[in-house]
Amino acid sequence: MINLENIGVHLPQGYLFKDLNFQINKGDKIGLVGKNGAGKSTLLKLIAKFDKPSEGRIHQPSGTTVGFLTQDIKIDSTQSVFEYLNSSNLLLAKINGRIEEINIELVERTDYESDSYLGMLDELNDLNHEFNINEGFLWEEKITHTLKGLGFSDKELGMSLQTFSGGWKMRAELAKILVNNPDIVLLDEPTNHLDIISISWLENYLKTFEGAVIVISHDRLFLDNVTKRTLEISNGKVLDFAFSYTKYKVARAEELERLAGAAKQQVKDIKHTEELINKFRAKKNKAAFAQSLIKKLEKTERIEVDNDSVTGMKINFPLSIQPGKWVVDMKNMGKTYGDKMLFKDVNLTVGRGEKIALLGANGTGKSTLLKRVMGVIDGEGTVEYGHNANITYFAQDQAEALDITKTVYETVDDIAKGDIRKELRKVLGAFLFRGEDVDKKVAVLSGGERTRLALCQLLLSPSNFLILDEPTNHLDIQSKEVLKEALKNYEGTFIVVSHDREFLEGLTNRIWDIENQTLKIHHFGVKDFLKRKMELLMPESQKKKSLNPKKEKKEKKTSSENKNNYQDKKELKRERNKWNNQINSSEKKIEECEAKIAEMDVVMTTLDYSNSAKAGKALADYEALKNELDNQMKLWEEGTERLEAMDN
């Protein structure tokens, strides 16, 4: 579909990349990876024809449509969110506009028998047909479905785009790209401003998208679930792997190991050749031989190995002092801004050793809740800290607190204590500050770089209770792995807000979920939490399809045809009794489970997570009760639906 031939981009400091050759086929799902500054975003701009290459050509069929989501979109429209999308399809707008013109003219004219009048009727018929084959009659429904999938509420669809933040404008732009169904979709960090539910929705959408997709993302799980091919920009070249991200990493590691061996051998060969040249170049009878060796050496292409210096690196958060059994106690806590209530009646005690993920859609009040815990803002209720609680808080605007007169190295050196000071350059490297970067002043760093530096500073600060608000923003996949490993080994307590599912999975033992102005607590993993959330969002019509419609139809038909048959009536009665018994049994067990769960909820609020054996057993018992409740609910639903099917 699109072919890149000998593409090169030359900058004042040299080539960003050169001689790139690869093809993008219809239906390809490609992950584009590489280190910061390798040229990933530049390559997308070339494919989208936003920029032109210094050399080479990009071939694509005439009429190919490209949807490109950049990181720096600017939307100045005063239109509503819905109208911004509704007016984006020029073909449908043109057809619809002409249909309206014809309808108005047909009403006003009276020459029903004239050729021009009949010609207009034919044109109207053709336009309606064209509108239909371009899915014009489904257009508004498609817009609404896409916007809701990306997190917009019914109320927000009619609001002006000017009232939304940059992150929400990015969602609107993404929705506009998707509803117009281009031949190829180019996405530069699409998950940056999406919440955990919207990311899952986008994932499912792209899986069934018929066109090609190229995505840059630091979300490993998103890449694994969406892509089937990986392009890596490394040392100015493109490496092509027929795998999703995780499988590509394994294959790449094996290749790097082989290259490292070949590079080592090449160094030995070059050294030996240079020794021969020095030995024979002064001798007349060997001068020609020496010259041939020199030419051979000049033509030798040096093997470059792009090693990942942070892979396998381990850093631990230092623990300051052991706190008491609980670190924070919230009583009747809430927060309201004007007429908008974010949450209310939060009554929770956070025990020592708890690992909490705070989740919820954007705008539900996650950051506000953390600020209330820290006392940064006022609100309803009280917050009390436990004995020896030593809190370190990482806010989304943490970078603003950095001293801009210091260098990157000085910023972390002032904080670090003990043996970790010997590893400061490695620590900075794990957060993408390498080589001369460590000597840069904070004042010249970008917003993303400052955020990474603030997180690095946090990692070196002794504490026993961490509160982290979106710490994974602006981190690459390797840096997130370093941070996750540090949190897993942290002996203190933490609350973390993140929409990165791979980062959160296996990291926490408790989930706080802000929904409908209430803080709900779950004691299962992010994967199960997300699965249950997606089931709740599933339309009722789709839920009913989970039952086998063919079987229901067959049962209904059979009972109808043979209702006068004694044996069939007997079998029908037996079947009805079976489902009635299942319903009655499930109702009784549901009541028992709910009572036991209510008792366990009380236990969970005072559970000492520092006693891993006791906490583990309690969590296992609690999860077993939850699973049993889910099973009984499914049995009850099955029985109820079967009885309804028999009665219809």
Per-residue pLDDT for 350 more than 60? yes
Question: So what's the pLDDT on residue 538?
Answer: 57
Per cent of the chain over pLDDT 90 is 26
Question: So what's the pLDDT on residue 559?
Answer: 44
Q: What is the CATH number of the domain that holds 362?
A: 3.40.50.300
> What's the whole-number average pLDDT of the chain?
83
Stretch 561-577: mean pLDDT: 63
Helices (H), strands (E): how many in the chain?
22, 18
Q: Is residue 526 part of a domain?
A: yes
SS3 380: strand
Per-residue pLDDT for 560 more than 50? no
pLDDT greater at residue 36 or residue 346: 346
Rounded CA Rg of the chain: 31
Question: So what's the pLDDT on residue 171?
Answer: 92
Per-residue pLDDT for 237 more than 70? yes
- CA 634 to chain centroid, in Å, comes to 30
Buried b (16+ CB within 10 A) or exposed e, 38-51: bbbbbbbbbbbeee
Question: So what's the pLDDT on residue 537?
Answer: 55
Stretch 415-440: mean pLDDT: 82
Last residue of a domain, one of 504, 531, 558: 531
Q: Is the whole model's pTM more than 0.85, yes or no?
A: no
Stretch 227-256: mean pLDDT: 88
Per-residue pLDDT for 448 more than 90? no
Q: In degrees rounded to 5, what are phi and psi of residue 612?
A: -60, -35
Residue 463 sits in the same domain as residue 398 = yes
Domain, as residue range, for 559: 538-647
Q: Is residue 596 part of a domain?
A: yes
Residue 419 binned pLDDT confidence (cut-offs 50, 70, 90): confident
Stretch 11-32: mean pLDDT: 91
As a whole number of angstroms, the distance between CA 648 and CA 643 comes to: 9
Residue 348 sits in the same domain as residue 423 = yes
Length of the chain: 648
Question: So what's the pLDDT on residue 43?
Answer: 93
Per-residue pLDDT for 174 more than 50? yes
Last residue of a domain, one of 159, 190, 208: 159
The domain tally of the chain equals: 5
As a whole number of angstroms, the distance between CA 465 and CA 38 comes to: 37
Residue found by looking up tokens 């609404």 in the block: 144
pLDDT greater at residue 495 or residue 543: 495
Q: Is residue 92 part of a domain?
A: yes
Question: So what's the pLDDT on residue 11?
Answer: 87
Kindly tell me the burial class for residue 478, based on how many C-beta atoms sit within 10 Å of its own C-beta (0-12, 13-18, 19 or more).
buried
Residue-wise pLDDT for 314-345, tens only, equals 667 777 788 889 999 999 999 998 888 899 99
Q: Is residue 311 part of a domain?
A: no
For the chain, the 3-state helix, strand and coil shares in percent, each to the nearest 5, are 50, 20, 30
Residues β-bridged to residue 76 = none
Residue 209 sits in the same domain as residue 335 = no
Residue 521 sits in the same domain as residue 374 = yes
SS3 164: coil
Residue 137 binned pLDDT confidence (cut-offs 50, 70, 90): confident
Kindly tell me the burial class for residue 512, based on how many C-beta atoms sit within 10 Å of its own C-beta (0-12, 13-18, 19 or more).
buried
Last residue of a domain, one of 499, 531, 563: 531
As a whole number of angstroms, the distance between CA 146 and CA 134 comes to: 17
Q: Is residue 172 part of a domain?
A: no
As a whole number of angstroms, the distance between CA 500 and CA 191 comes to: 9
Stretch 126-154: mean pLDDT: 87
Structure tokens given for 240:
């092509």
Per-residue pLDDT for 119 more than 80? yes
Per-residue pLDDT for 229 more than 60? yes
Residue 495 sits in the same domain as residue 441 = yes
Per-residue pLDDT for 542 more than 90? no
Amino acid at 386: G
**DSSP for 430-467, written as a single string:** HTT--GGGGGSBGGGS-HHHHHHHHHHHHHTS-BSEEE
Amino acid at 212: A
Is residue 524 within 8 Å of residue 626, measured between CB atoms? yes
Residue-wise pLDDT for 264-310, tens only, equals 888 888 888 888 888 777 777 767 777 787 888 887 777 776 655 44
As a whole number of angstroms, the distance between CA 138 and CA 550 comes to: 28
As a whole number of angstroms, the distance between CA 159 and CA 547 comes to: 39
Stretch 449-453: mean pLDDT: 84
Residue 283 sits in the same domain as residue 144 = no
Q: Is residue 317 part of a domain?
A: no
As a whole number of angstroms, the distance between CA 160 and CA 177 comes to: 19
CB atoms within 10 A of CB 52: 12
How many CA atoms does the CB half-sphere of 453 hold within 13 Å?
31
Residue 294 sits in the same domain as residue 392 = no
Question: So what's the pLDDT on residue 554?
Answer: 46
Q: Is residue 200 part of a domain?
A: yes
Question: So what's the pLDDT on residue 23?
Answer: 93
Residue 142 sits in the same domain as residue 207 = no
Residue 116 binned pLDDT confidence (cut-offs 50, 70, 90): confident
H helices of 180-243, in order, are: 196-208, 220-226
Residue-wise pLDDT for 78-115, tens only, equals 899 999 999 888 888 888 888 888 888 888 888 888 88
Residue 416 sits in the same domain as residue 451 = yes
SS3 610: coil
Residue 546 binned pLDDT confidence (cut-offs 50, 70, 90): very low
Residue 364 sits in the same domain as residue 475 = yes
Rounded alpha-carbon distances, angstroms, from residue 563 to 130, 284, 572 = 50, 113, 9
Per-residue pLDDT for 553 more than 50? no
Q: Is residue 253 part of a domain?
A: no
Closest CA to 139 of 76, 183, 187, 89: 89
Residue-wise pLDDT for 371-382, tens only, equals 999 988 999 999
Residue 402 sits in the same domain as residue 549 = no
Residue 566 sits in the same domain as residue 419 = no
Amino acid at 499: H
Question: So what's the pLDDT on residue 45?
Answer: 93
